[in-house]
Amino acid sequence: MTHEANGSDKAAVALARALSSPLRLRVLRLCAFDARTNKELAELLEVNPGTMLHHVRTLVDTGLLAAEPARTGTRGAREVPYRATGRSWHAPQGPNFSVILLETMRQQLQEVDPQLVETSWLGLRLNAEHLDELQQRLYGLLQEFKERGPDAGGDSYSLVIVLHPDRNPPAERPAG
């Protein structure tokens, strides 16, 4: 293994580790459209500012957040706002990423009026070709909306699609 490959492996491990925290995933969501300071993030997520600083530094160190030019806060203090870089969109997913993502979603849903949450659940039985088509079309649609960027004056929404093998074998058909 070359030194370069070893550095690449370390970077991949650091990236996966950075994305292994529901709190850090929520930070990325909050910084997707608006740059936010450590203090703003701590207040929005009801976390100690020192704890938040640790998480923000982890995201910055892995290139998931980028600092914007410093600004003067309401009390004259220097504040650094951060914005998500979008790097998480194509980042490799760790072995438990789906569980972490679902936990992140669960935490976010605790703050939402249940009447405003729409859910869909669909069972499918697909061959390999149609499964591949579904995955490509879903990814294509998500990529299309991501590339559009945020709508000026638009409201924020979160979308999670979970596609997984279902433990639902076909019923045995009577011989005939």
Please check whether residue 170 lies inside any domain of the structure: no
Q: Indicate whether 148 pLDDT > 70.
A: yes
| pLDDT grade for 163, boundaries at 50, 70 and 90 | confident
Q: Are 82 and 66 in contact (CB under 8 A)?
A: yes
Q: What range does the domain containing 141 cover?
A: 3-148
Q: Is the dihedral of CA 127, 129, 135, 137 positive or negative?
A: negative
Residue 18 inside a domain? The answer is yes
Any domain includes 60: yes
Q: Residue 33 is part of a domain; what is its CATH number?
A: 1.10.10.10
Q: Is the pLDDT of residue 39 over 50?
A: yes
- The percentage of the chain sitting over the pLDDT mark of 70, rounded to a whole number, equals 90
What is this structure's pTM?
A: 0.79
- Residue 89 is assigned to a structural domain of this protein: yes
Question: What is the pLDDT, as a whole number, of residue 91?
Answer: 87
Higher per-residue pLDDT: 19 or 164: 19
Does residue 166 belong to any structural domain of this protein? no
Amino acid at 38: N
For residue 154, being part of any structural domain is answered with no
* b/e per residue 159-174 (b: at least 16 CB within 10 A): eeeeeeeeeeeeeeee
Tally of structural domains, the chain = 1
Of 136, 138, 134, the residue nearest 126 (C-alpha):
134
